[in-house]
A and B are shown apart, each in its own frame.
Chain A
Amino acid sequence: MPLIVEHLTKIYPDGTRALNDVSFRVEDGEFVAIVGLSGAGKSTLLRCINRLVEPTSGRIIWNDIDITAASPQELRRIRRQIGMIFQQFNLVKRSTVLTNVLSGRLGYLNPWLTLLGYFPPAEKKRAMEALERVGLADLAYKRADELSGGQQQRVGIARALMQEPRLLLADEPVASLDPVLAHSILRYIEELNKEGGVTVICSLHFLDLVHRYATKVIGLKDGFKVFEGRPEEIDDRRFKEIYGQEAERIGG
C-alpha cells in the first residue's frame, strides 16, 4: 500500500514556512532519499508523516488511512508500525541498551504493566534478537551513554526493529557519525528494505550515499519540492537547483 502525501504545508507558530504544498507518492518497498540543505524542510517532512509535527494543511494517506485525520488512539496504532531513527540517536542515555530497545515495543504492550517496568519474557527475547541482528547482544546491559556513536545508532535501529515496522523514517541517520561508519549503518537499513520489504524514507546529506542506496530521490529547497526522480537523474543542473549555485559536488 503506497504512502501518498498531498499538498503538505507546515507553517510554524513563528511564521517559518517549513513546507510549501509538497506532494509525492511512495510505493511499497522503495528506498526514498530526501535531499536538500539544512533548513530545507527534510526533518519537518519526516515528522509530519508520523505527526510528531502537526501539519498545517494537506493530507498524508498510508494504507488507505488518512494519518492527518487520525484520532489520538488511531495515531498511536499507526505510529507503532512506523519505525523512526534520528541523527542524534535519541536514546535514553541513562537507561540500559536493553531497556532502550524494549521501549520500541511500548505501543504493542499493556500500558499499565509497562509503567511498572514489566516486559514479558517473549519481548525480552525479541529484544535480544534485535540486538543480535545489529551485532550488540553482548552490550545489552550497558548504559546507553557508554556506547560509541555508531553503536548507539545500531541500538536505535534495534529499537525500530521491535516495532516490526512496515515503514521506516530515518532523519539524517549517519550525519553525526564518522563517514566510515555511515555505510555500516546504511547497510542495516538496506537489509531491512531489501529482505524485510520495509519502505524506507531517509534524509541524507551526501549524494554518493544517495546513489549507493536510494531507489528514488526527493529534493527539497526552502520547503518546496524541487526534484523527484531516480538518483541517476541528478545531473549538475539539478544538483545546483537543489543545493544552490554556490554548491560544489563532492564524491559520487
Chain B
Amino acid sequence: MKGPWRIPIILGIIIVYALCWRAVGIAPSKFFEPQAAQRAREIFTAFVTPEILIPEVSRQAVEVPFRVPCPPGAKSTPEVSGLSPQIVMPVCASEGEIIKVEGRGFHPKSDVILRWRFAPSSQLPLGGELVAARVKANEDGSFEAQIEVRPLLAQEGGASLQAEAQWRTGRRVVSPALVKTAELMVQTIFLALMATTFATVIAIPISFLAARNIMAKGPVGTAIYYAVRWVLDLVRSIEPIVVAAIFATWVGFGPFAGVLALTVATIVSLGKLFSEVIETIDPGPVEAITATGANLLQVIRYAVVPQIVLPFLAFIIYHWDINIRISTVVGFVGGGGIGYQLKLWIDQTDYHKAGTAVWAIVAVVSVMDYVSARLREAIK
C-alpha cells in the first residue's frame, strides 16, 4: 500500500481495535484477582477429581410419639423406647419445658440428629421436620441431649421425635451423580439418534430437489433447485443452539426440544451433503440402465441408489456423532440430556458432579468419534 492514505488507514485500524477492546471489556487482570484465582483453583480441582465413588453412609433411627401438653393422667417421666438402639425420654411435656433425651446402643461415635417430625394437619398440610439437636454418640454408642419443647409441637396433627445416627462404613459406593450421568448420557445418545433419523427421512427427498443434475433440466426444475438451495443456506446460518432456545420456549425444556433443534440443523446439513453425493454420481450406469428400456424409477433404483447408499450411510453415522457432541451444548439452553444436568450442577456450584458429567462427555464423544470413523471406513 502506498500514497497519502497509508497513515489514515493505519490510524483507523488502531481506533477500531481500541474501541473493540473497550466494548468487549477485555481485562486480563481479572485472571489474577485473588477471588478469581481461588475460584479457578476450586473449579479445576473439582473437575480433575470428578465424583465417581463416594463413602458409604449407614443409618439407624428410632422414633417416639410425643404429646404436648400431657393428656390428663399422663406423667412427664422418662420412658424407654425401642430395643436396640433405644432412647429414654418423656413421651409428653408442656410447651417451653426442657426435656432430657438419652440414647443407648447406637453405632459408636456416629453423628446423631434429633429432629421433631410433624404429621400433616390443617396448620401443616404437608407435615414437616425441625432439627432439635445434633450430638455425637460416644464410644459405647450412647448420648445425652437437652432439648426444648417448642410451641409448634402442640399442633393438632401430633408430633414425634426421631433420633437418626449416621456413620461412614469405610466402604465406597458408586456416586448417584455418576448413575445420573450415565442415564443422561444414554438419553443424549438416543436424542442424537432420533434427531439424525428424523433428519435423514426428511433430508433424502430434499437432497434430490437440491441436486443440479436431477433438477436443472428445465426452467421449473431449475427454479426449484435454486429455491431449495437458498432455503438450505438460510436455515444453515442459524446455529443449533439458537434453534434449541426457540424450541425450548415452544415445547418446553427437555430432550424433545433438543431433538427438534438437532433435527433442523441436521436436515440442512445432510440435505446439502446428500445433494452433493447425488451430483457426483457416475452417469455411466444411469445411461446403461436407461438403455435397457427401464423406466425412471427403475433407473433410480438400479443405477442411482446403489451409488449413493453407502456415502449416505457414512454421512448419517458422521452426523449421529456430531449430534451427540452438539446435544451437550444444546442441553445448556434447555435441550435436555447431559448438557442440561451439567448446567444445573454448575449453577449449584457442584463442581465435582459437573466434573463427572464433563469427563463422561469427553469419554462418550471420543468413543463415538472412533466408532463412527471405523464404521465409515468399513462401509467404503
Once the chains bind, are B289 and A52 in contact (CB under 8 Å)? no
Query: Is B49 close to A, CB under 8 A?
Result: no
Once the chains bind, are B288 and A115 in contact (CB under 8 Å)? no
Query: Is A184 close to B, CB under 8 A?
Result: no
Tally B residues with Cβ within 8 Å of A.
21
Smallest Cβ distance from A138 to chain B, in angstroms? 22
1/0 contact string of A162-199 vs chain B (CB within 8 Å): 11000001000000000000000000000000000000
Once the chains bind, are A106 and B285 in contact (CB under 8 Å)? no
Smallest Cβ distance from A171 to chain B, in angstroms? 10
Q: Which residues does chain B contribute within 8 Å of A163, judged by CB atoms?
A: 292-293
1/0 contact string of B218-249 vs chain A (CB within 8 Å): 00000000000000000000000000000000
Query: Is A57 close to B, CB under 8 A?
Result: no
Once the chains bind, are A94 and B293 in contact (CB under 8 Å)? no
Once the chains bind, are B284 and A103 in contact (CB under 8 Å)? no
Once the chains bind, are A80 and B292 in contact (CB under 8 Å)? yes
Once the chains bind, are A94 and B288 in contact (CB under 8 Å)? no
**Quick one: given A106-B289, A159-B288, are A92 and B295 in contact (CB under 8 Å)?**
no
1/0 contact string of A97-112 vs chain B (CB within 8 Å): 0010001111110010
Once the chains bind, are A88 and B294 in contact (CB under 8 Å)? no
Query: Is A91 close to B, CB under 8 A?
Result: yes
Of B284, B295, B297, B307, which contacts A76 at CB under 8 A? B295
**Quick one: given A79-B293, A114-B301, are A94 and B287 in contact (CB under 8 Å)?**
no
Smallest Cβ distance from B228 to chain A, in angstroms? 24
Query: Is B114 close to A, CB under 8 A?
Result: no
Tally A residues with Cβ within 8 Å of B.
35
List the A residue with the shortest CB-CB distance to B310: A94
Once the chains bind, are B306 and A115 in contact (CB under 8 Å)? no
1/0 contact string of B171-202 vs chain A (CB within 8 Å): 00000000000000000000000000000000
Smallest Cβ distance from A200 to chain B, in angstroms? 15
Query: Is B290 close to A, CB under 8 A?
Result: yes
Once the chains bind, are A106 and B287 in contact (CB under 8 Å)? no
Q: Which residues does chain A contribute within 8 Å of B310, judged by CB atoms?
A: 94
Q: Which residues does chain B contribute within 8 Å of A159, judged by CB atoms?
A: 288, 292
Query: Is B298 close to A, CB under 8 A?
Result: yes
Once the chains bind, are A92 and B301 in contact (CB under 8 Å)? no
Of A77, A89, A103, which contacts B289 at CB under 8 A? A103
1/0 contact string of A233-251 vs chain B (CB within 8 Å): 0000000000000000000
1/0 contact string of B280-317 vs chain A (CB within 8 Å): 00101101111111110110011100110110000000
Within B238-283, the residues touching A (CB, 8 Å) are: 282
Of B290, B302, B309, which contacts A52 at CB under 8 A? B290
Smallest Cβ distance from B307 to chain A, in angstroms? 7
List the B residue with the shortest CB-CB distance to A87: B284
Query: Is A38 close to B, CB under 8 A?
Result: no
Smallest Cβ distance from B219 to chain A, in angstroms? 14
Of A50, A77, A94, A169, which contacts B306 at CB under 8 A? A94
Q: Which residues does chain B contribute within 8 Å of A111, judged by CB atoms?
A: 295, 297-298
Once the chains bind, are A50 and B291 in contact (CB under 8 Å)? yes
Once the chains bind, are B298 and A92 in contact (CB under 8 Å)? no
Bound CA span A80–B294, Å? 8
Query: Is A95 close to B, CB under 8 A?
Result: yes
Bound CA span A117–B306, Å? 12
Q: Which residues does chain B contribute within 8 Å of A99, judged by CB atoms?
A: 302, 306
Once the chains bind, are B288 and A90 in contact (CB under 8 Å)? yes
Smallest Cβ distance from B377 to chain A, in angstroms? 16
Once the chains bind, are B297 and A79 in contact (CB under 8 Å)? no
Once the chains bind, are A114 and B298 in contact (CB under 8 Å)? yes
22 A–B contacts, CB within 8 A, in A order: A50-B291, A52-B291, A77-B293, A79-B291, A82-B291, A86-B284, A86-B288, A89-B284, A90-B284, A92-B285, A93-B285, A93-B307, A95-B306, A99-B302, A103-B289, A104-B292, A105-B292, A114-B298, A115-B301, A117-B301, A156-B288, A169-B291
With A79-B291, A90-B282, A104-B292 given, can you name 20 additional A-B contacts, CB distance below 8 Å? A52-B290, A52-B291, A76-B293, A82-B291, A88-B284, A90-B287, A90-B288, A91-B288, A92-B302, A93-B307, A94-B306, A94-B310, A95-B302, A95-B306, A103-B292, A103-B294, A103-B303, A106-B292, A106-B298, A111-B297
